Structure 1
Amino acid sequence: MTNARSGGRSRLPARLPPGSQPPPRAPLRADAIAGLEAMGRLPEALDARRAAVLSAPSDAGARIALGSLLLRLGRHEAAVTVLRAAIGLAPDRAAAHRALGLALGRLRYKAEAEAALSTAVLLDPAEAGARNDLGALLAEQGRHAEAVEAFRAALVLDPGSADACANLCASLGTLNRIDEAVAAGKAAVRLRPDHANAQINLGVILAHLGRHTDAIDAFQAAIRLRPEHANAHANLGLALGSLGRFEDALATLRGAVRLQPGHAIARQNLAMTLLLLGRLEEGFAEYEHRLPPRPPGLPPGPPPWRGEPLAGRTILLHAEQGLGDTIQFVRYLPEVARRGAGRVLLAAPPAFARLLAGLPGLDALQRPGESPARTHLQCSLLSLPYACGTTTLESIPAPIPYLRAEPAALPRWRERLAGLPGPLRVGLVWAGNPEHRNDRHRSIASHQLAPLWAVAGVSWVSLQVGARAAALRGEAPNGAVLDLAPELTDLAETAAAMAQLDLVVTVDTAAAHLAGALGRPVWTMLPALPDWRWLLEREDTPWYPTMRLFRQTRFGDWSGVVERVAGALQQMVAAP
């Protein structure tokens, strides 16, 4: 016998009869397929999983394994089909419902995904992973309080789950439960120092606390683990900017955008850094990448306006973010009208109805729930600087005042405040919306305002509204502050009250914008790292010519700011 390897002729395989197929290969055993998956040989594993299903069509486990691999490969629609077939064979298999929920979630079928994951939890209450997956889905929908419950339940079942700890850290941070978030983030990193997302989530919380150096360490650790992780670069850039390392911040953020051009956080952080530095042309262009491009609930339809001539067409402008942002950017409405608009409509909260009545350039205010008027174009208020070509600080439109108090309300408020002693009547707002993510940094605890009460000759009027309005009742000396909260029923009433005051002292909240838009003298107290619109270092602002800025010189230190405000008030009282 001649050995083929020694140069002899090898035997040819026997020919198959015409039209016949080769016998099917026996499917690989499950452990062999799992080995292929572990080695990353996923195409081979996929073929093997399909062969296993063909050889045993009634085996639900084979279909679950195939669906899970399709999910891993990102073939979500195929995974849904396979997993639904598996559930048809074995409705009580929690693993099938869990994998189906993940696939549906990737396809953005959120309600169906939640139902599938909830079923997985009911079928196997001891499975921590399904609870963690359900929490992640809830967090994606902004339902963070429910997500926290799911993550904590997962950790009760599996205290060593770094994934659940990292996810818990992120949701607690969103809920402003900062101390709990730090504890969860540290636990995640302790459990798995190589968990890049855990490092990022912890870094975000540390940055929120002002511990920017520690945050940078966390983000850099994540980048060492995953150099391509755009989210880590995006957050690192923001932390570098918080330490005043702006050129490093810009370079890092541009790197994040190169890694992932569609990364909304990187684009937004880059935009805000550029705007903070006064580089408006590039900053507003980058800001157009922010998400969402239009608020949830706004009906689809007209295309976005980019600044082209309107030629008599109707345009719908819409409020996008907070009350202060709306006040700041309605200044652009006369400019929009000058671009040839047939009608300018504004979709805004009801609180603006009276305040904006008669605003030049505004034809009608569209309130939530109203049937939308027929429009040709739409634009967010925060996109108007870009659309209208605001490229330099000098090109910011500042026709102050561009808002005015309602004439009918002025006599009533004049009489209401007529009895206050002088020489100065000063309005005060010390806190913003407690739900705002940056509230910890922009609001001042009421007890820190004590130096203001010592300034002789000032009659204090509280313009604070909401749950914090009552705080001064236990802090200010008896009768030192007139509390107007019950009477400030909307922004028009607040505007009319401000019209009777000599000065408004406020933190960075809607009151600052309102006083500035009314052309009232206003002093705004800012944190060390301010919002982009207040720029850096300067005491004035091109957005509001009647505003003076008082900035923190150390992160978190309001005492120095309040002392400087008190000193400036003393000088104002003493001035002839």
Structure 2
Amino acid sequence: MLQTIDAAVHQAIGFLNAGQISDAIGRLRFLNSANETSHVRSNLIGLIYLSAKENLRALAWFDQAVRLNPRYSEALSNRGAVLQELDRDADALASYDEALRLGFVHAALFYNRGNLLREAGRLKEAIASYDMALKLNPAYPEALRAGGRVLRDLGRPESALEFFDEALRLRPGFIDALIDRGNLLHDLGRTEEAIRSYDSALEKEPNHADVLNNRGAALHAIGRFQDASADFDAALRINSLAPQAWSNRGNLLLSQLRPEAALAAYERALELRPGYGEAFCGRALALKHLGRFDEALASYDRALDCDPTSAHFKNNKATLLLLLGEFETGWDLYEWRWIAGQTPKHGLKLPIPEWSGESLAGRAIIVFDEQGLGDAIQFSRFLPILAAQGAKVTFFCRARLHRLFKGLETPVRLVDDLAEGEHFDCQIALSSLPRALKVRLATIPAQASYLRPEADLARMWAARIGSQGFKIGICWRGNSAIKADPSRSIPLAHFAPLAGLAGARLVSIQKLDDQTPFGDRQALPWLETLGGDFDAGADAFVDAAAAMQSLDLIITCDTSIAHLAGALGRPVWVVLKQTADWRWLLEREDCPWYPSMRLFRQSRLGDWDEVFGRVAHALELELKQI
């Protein structure tokens, strides 16, 4: 009988090696694990069943091997592998640990064990297990890839990239490592490199839906909308039931100013994955663009039901509440805007309490700059208020803003680095000041101006601009990054009709760079420029602030120039998209933040012609009064 069993096992191995799985298993069907008396043969038969992916039968044979010899460490390790395949992770980990206790040392065991520890969130233990796998087998690309994923989750992206790169050096076509590498590079903002990694993966598997979807998201991030759309279409042709691809398509459609189509894409994603928080958040953004604000708030709440800890969802809901003028709740949720570490405060990690509005008399407070240049200008109005309460105020901000902020009506200390041993009683991020000061819509401190330009520069630019005509400074473009919302920018041609009005002079106060339409510094016939030295130095906005003193009006898109003009108290018209950023609120033509500001809003999404018709009419009336 034993010879018959051994012959059957030998034949099964031969069939398995030849790829004839059903014939291999057929040779073993007459055997019953409960009747087996050899722990070695039980383990071997279990391995055959495991290779054939008959996991329950494999487990029965490994269990028999361990019953026959409880110290058989190899069978314990194999038992762990099949339990892992059956998603019995706790039992699998216990089996691996028992094999280790008995002295079994094998790279695959440490690799598999590391995977279980990673799934359990025990990341440092997982890294230690992968390290042991790599010590036993340095040329182990799967372990390198897995180690890279844990390092990424531990917030060590550069080390993770080294692991992915080494895995790819050992196995150049390792598609999972290419995908992980691309995803990490995308998260790091190294989008072009991410796309190259996805390209390499698609050379290996051209119809890989997940890679096409991820590459589409990366292409969207750098503004290659047509290519991104093609990738999402291809991904959905391969797998039309992929909720992430539908959600990503919704994100793209929003960037293309197609909120109704985006809404349909998000709805489809939610049909496929009802608990998909990102799709609920995208759906809320689409509803916000459509002016369906109550539904948008409800959709944000659904997103937060899916993930109550998401800073992204909370911040998005906050900006909608602020747009609606609901400042009390809005400021609270707005605290989540930089939880991900997007502020200098996180890098410095000062062990001092947050200021929450208590008395500042005789206390030293450090305020941290954050977010965009426009935010810094808008919220710098609160720094003198702190000083007026008796605080010693230090503003930690970008060095290129120091010269501008020296023009605050009440000076504060400006730094971009801290000396060792500096003492502060409390700290706060700049955009948290409205919350701490309990600012409401009716109590916004809206001084006529709170910044002053440099007098010498103002005289210099006045001489260059001259006194003839009605001088209008224009700015048409803000940050072009997708995350900064390039839909705020205005095609320059829309300003041209304003130059045709009698007496009007249009002067560019747009900072010149490689994206400026007249990159050779030669202006369009109807547009004057102030020269290549305008705001070309290291100090931001000092020339713009000075030049504005000689301009009769500033007309600008929603960008930092709007805040600068308002902070200086200069007459400024801001031309906004239909549903604008939260700080401009809804439907009003005035701005509670800046008394000298007038707002012109699109009546229809993406329609600049109509709103510029109203701007031209208002300007014509203004010119007639001169």
TM, length-normalised to structure 1: 0.89
User: Which residue pairs with 2:590 in the alignment?
Assistant: 540
2:491 paired with 1:445: yes
The correspondence for 1:390, drawn from 424, 431, 439, is 439
Residue 351 in 1 paired to residue 392 in 2?
Answer: no
Counterpart contact for 1:314–1:344, Cα < 8 Å: yes
The CA distance in 2 between the partners of 1:485 and 1:543, in whole Å, is 32
- Tell me which residue corresponds to 1:571: 621
Checking the alignment, whether the CA contact within 8 Å between 1:432 and 1:507 is kept in structure 2 is: yes
CA distance 1:478–1:217, change in 2 (3 Å):
closer
CA distance in 2, matches of 1:433, 1:368: 26
Alignment of 1:103-502 (within 5 A): 103-292=150-339, 295-296=343-344, 298-301=347-350, 302-341=352-391, 343-367=392-416, 373-391=422-440, 393-418=441-466, 420-422=467-469, 424-435=470-481, 437-467=483-513, 468-469=515-516, 471=518, 478=525, 480-489=527-536, 490-502=540-552
Matched, 1:99 2:146: yes
Q: Deviations over 1:161-214 (max 9, x none)?
A: 222222222222222332222222333333223333222222212212122222
Q: 1:42 aligns with which of 78, 83, 89?
A: 89
The whole-number CA distance in structure 1 between the counterparts of 2:90 and 2:261 is 42
> Are the counterparts in 2 of residues 462 and 485 from structure 1 also a CA contact under 8 Å?
no
List per-residue Cα deviations over 1:111-160 (Å, max 9, x = no partner). Answer: 32221111111111111110111122222323222222212211211223
Counterpart-to-counterpart distance in 2, 1:477 and 1:232: 44
Instruction: Report Cα offsets for 1:241-300 as digits up to 9, x if no partner.
Output: 111111111111122223322101110111011011111111111101222466147412
> For 2:368 and 2:416, how far apart are their aligned partners in 1?
10
- 1:307 and 1:73 mapped to 2: Cα distance? 41
Question: CA separation in 2, counterparts of 1:405 and 1:370?
Answer: 29
In terms of mean alpha carbon deviation, does 477-486 or 444-453 score higher?
A: 477-486
Distance in 2 between the 1:366 and 1:274 partners?
33
Q: Which moved more, 1:115-124 or 1:303-312?
A: 303-312
- Distance in 2 (CA, whole Å) between partners of 1:555 and 1:338 is 43
Secondary structure of the corresponding residue to residue 303 of structure 1? coil
5+ residue gaps, structure 1, are: 1-20
Displacement after TM superposition at 1:364 (Å):
1.1
Q: State the secondary structure of the residue aligned to 2:600.
A: strand
Query: What SS does structure 2 have at the residue aligned with 1:548?
Result: strand
C-alpha contact 1:53 1:59 (8 A) present in aligned 2:
no
**CA distance change for structure 1 residues 472 and 24 in 2, over 3 Å: closer, same or farther?**
closer
C-alpha deviation, 1:351, in angstroms? 2.9
Task: Give distance in 2, aligned partners of 1:122 and 1:473.
Answer: 45
Shift of the 427–371 alpha-carbon distance from structure 1 to 2, 3 Å rule, reads farther
Q: Of Structure 1 and Structure 2, which has the larger fraction of its residues in helix?
A: 2
Q: Cα deviations across residues 327-371 of structure 1 (Å, max 9, x unaligned)?
A: 111111122123331x11112223322222142343211135877
Instruction: Mark the structure with the bigger radius of gyration.
Output: 2
Relative to structure 1, is the Cα distance of residues 51 and 187 closer, same or farther in structure 2, using a 3 angstrom cutoff? farther
Q: Deviations over 1:487-526 (max 9, x none)?
A: 3344122111101111001111111111111111111111
Say if 1:451 and 1:28 are closer, same or farther in 2 by CA, change over 3 A.
farther
Q: CA deviation at 1:538?
A: 1.2
Bigger mean CA offset, 270-279 vs 463-472: 463-472
Partner of 2:63: none
Unaligned runs of 5+ in 2: 1-66
Return closer, same or farther for 1:484/1:282 CA change in 2, 3 Å cut-off: farther
Cα distance in 2 for residues equivalent to 1:196 and 1:479: 49
Supply the distance in 1 between the matched residues of 2:114 and 2:524 (Cα, whole angstroms).
69
Aligned residue pairs total 552
CA–CA distance in structure 2, aligned partners of residues 163 and 308 of structure 1 = 51
Paired AA for residue 461 in structure 2: W
Structure-2 residue corresponding to 1:14: none
More deviation, 138-147/268-277: 138-147
Change beyond 3 A, Cα 1:77–1:442? same
One-letter amino acid of the structure 1 residue matched with residue 393 of structure 2: V
2 CA distance for matches of 1:439 and 1:396? 26
Secondary structure class of the residue paired with 1:290 = helix
Q: Return the letter of the residue paired with 1:446.
A: L
Q: Is the 8 A contact 2:499 2:526 kept in 1?
A: no
Counting aligned pairs with the same residue, the percent is 37
Q: 1:372 and 1:383 mapped to 2: Cα distance?
A: 25
Whole-Å separation in 2 of the counterparts to 1:149 and 1:269: 31
| TM-score, normalised by the number of residues in structure 2 | 0.82
User: Structure 1 residues 205, 479: closer, same or farther in 2, change over 3 A?
Assistant: closer
Q: Is the 8 A contact 2:185 2:191 kept in 1?
A: yes
Determine the C-alpha separation between the residues in 1 that align with 2:589 and 2:299: 29
CA distance in 2, matches of 1:372, 1:237: 46
- 8 A contact 2:521–2:532 mirrored in 1: no
- Give the CA deviation at 1:469: 4.2
RMSD: 2.6
2:555 aligns with one of 480, 491, 505:
505
1:32-79 Cα distance to aligned partner (Å, 9 max, x none): 766644543333333444456667834322332222233233332222
Answer whether contact 1:335 1:388 (CA < 8 A) is retained.
Answer: no
What residue number does 1:16 align with?
Answer: none
SS, match of residue 483 in structure 2: coil
Confirm or deny: 8 A CA contact 2:566 2:595 kept in the other structure.
yes
Residue 289 of structure 1 aligns to a residue in which SS? helix
Contact kept? 1:317, 1:381, Cα under 8 Å: yes
The corresponding residue for 1:531 is 581
Deviations 1:81-129 (A, max 9, x none): 2211111111111111111111222222323222111111111111111
Provide the C-alpha distance between the structure 1 equivalents of 2:237 and 2:83, rounded to a whole number of angstroms: 31
Distance across 1 between alignment mates of 2:616 and 2:582: 26
Distance of 1:173 and 1:270 partners within structure 2 = 23
